[in-house]
Amino acid sequence: MSLRTSTLLLALAGTSLLAQPARKAAPVGGFAPDRLARIDRALQERVDDGSIAGAVGLVMRDGKVVYERAFGWSDKEAGRRMTTDAIFRIASQTKAITSTAVMMLVEEGRIALTDPVSRFIPAYARTTVAVTADSIVPARRPITIFDLLTHTAGISYGTDAKVSAKYQAVGLGPAAGFGWYTADKDEPVCTTMERLATLPFVAQPGSAFVYGYNTDILGCVVEKASGMSLDEFVRTRITEPLGMRDTHYFLPPAKRERLATVYMSDASRKAVRAPDGARGQGHYVDGPRRNFAGGAGMLSTARDYGRFLQMYLNGGTLDGTRLLGPKTIDVMRTNQVGRLYGDNGMGFGLGFSVAERPGADGFASVGSYGWGGAYATTYKIDPVERLVIVFMIQMLPNASDAAGRFPTLVYQALVGGR
């Protein structure tokens, strides 16, 4: 081969190599890196346009972290950036932890799903239902543990017009923030729940899905059935065994600087700092530290809560610690209320909403389950794709679409590896 021919072939080879498109990074855990980057762009845009102050997103597949990012500010006014170990008020995400405590006691034979609540809290032996503000009738049957787990006991948060005045008068409903807030009460949770039993509820037991104080009552049931305070039960039986070191009822003062600030959407849908008190920052650091709300009282991090959800995805076990049996979790993540939760393809199990058809919960697989919290936090467990999705933010009230878009952005990045 002549020198001229060799030079020409080399030149052509170089041209061919240069003409080839750059190879995309290989998927990690089934996720395309360039598509995961869309999450970064979307969340940063919402920080930049002022609709949120900050957020943390976490995605795990097969127990491994495939995405974990912090955006924006933990405290914008103080110049404190958001970090992945920031601590958030998780509000109703507490319900899953309390429901876990209840089902652990069910497995131990201390509670039965069919037990009347009055077995543990006698004040619930005779409850009433408000037909109108002026018409109160007896409940047709006793409220059961099952009713409380499925939110079919007829118990609201007391902000309904026909009962709100009565709830307000005893420090509940409108007097408790948006109804669910009890962190400022200087009394044990069972005292609060016993007072609740004297008030009328808004539907007959078993007749409707009514979201309200159900899981707070279950927190008292846990105390009565176990002989421990709810915070002690959760700490010694759930969070410590699972290595959830930053999940608490009321924050240790040494962790104060890690607590994310609460913001709220103003009339222009921009995030502004929420006020102090029940409708804003709350009493999670300097409060009385006596009322352990099973429905809305805890604080956690994205990684801690991800560990808790991974225990569910693993069938009740994590790192050698078993909290629940697989059959128990199967029941918990199955629709138990028929169409009482709605006829849009979503059902409700023992503590979670459940997707029953494709598209009912965005791109989540059929059988996915999860919930969220009043500060706009949200989570999802997808057994088909073996995913745990956690989104942490502190917005109350929240007009931002960040929490709603996050799961969609996660699923669009999933391109293989089932």
**Digit-coded pLDDT (tens) for 48-106:** 999 999 999 999 999 999 999 999 999 999 999 999 999 999 999 999 999 999 999 99
Residue 2 pLDDT greater than 70, yes or no: no
Residue 407 pLDDT greater than 70, yes or no: yes
Q: Is the pTM of this model over 0.85?
A: yes
- Which 3 state secondary structure label does DSSP give 184? coil
Q: pLDDT class for 5, splitting at 50, 70, 90?
A: very low
Residue 8 pLDDT greater than 70, yes or no: no
* Nearest one of 216, 209, 194, 294 to 249, comparing CA atoms: 294
CATH C-level class of 98-226: alpha beta
Calculate the CA 32 to chain-centre distance: 26
Other Cβ atoms within 10 Å of 303 Cβ, number: 20
| Cα separation values, 38 from 9, 390, 408, Å | 41, 17, 11
Asked if 185 contacts 258 with a C-beta cutoff of 8 angstroms, the reply is no
Residues of the chain with CATH 3.40.710.10: 33-90+230-412, 98-226
| % of the chain exceeding 70 in pLDDT | 94
Residue 14 pLDDT greater than 50, yes or no: no
CATH C-level class of 33-90+230-412: alpha beta
Residue 167 pLDDT greater than 90, yes or no: yes
**Mean pLDDT, range 249-264, rounded to an integer:** 97
| % of the chain exceeding 90 in pLDDT | 92
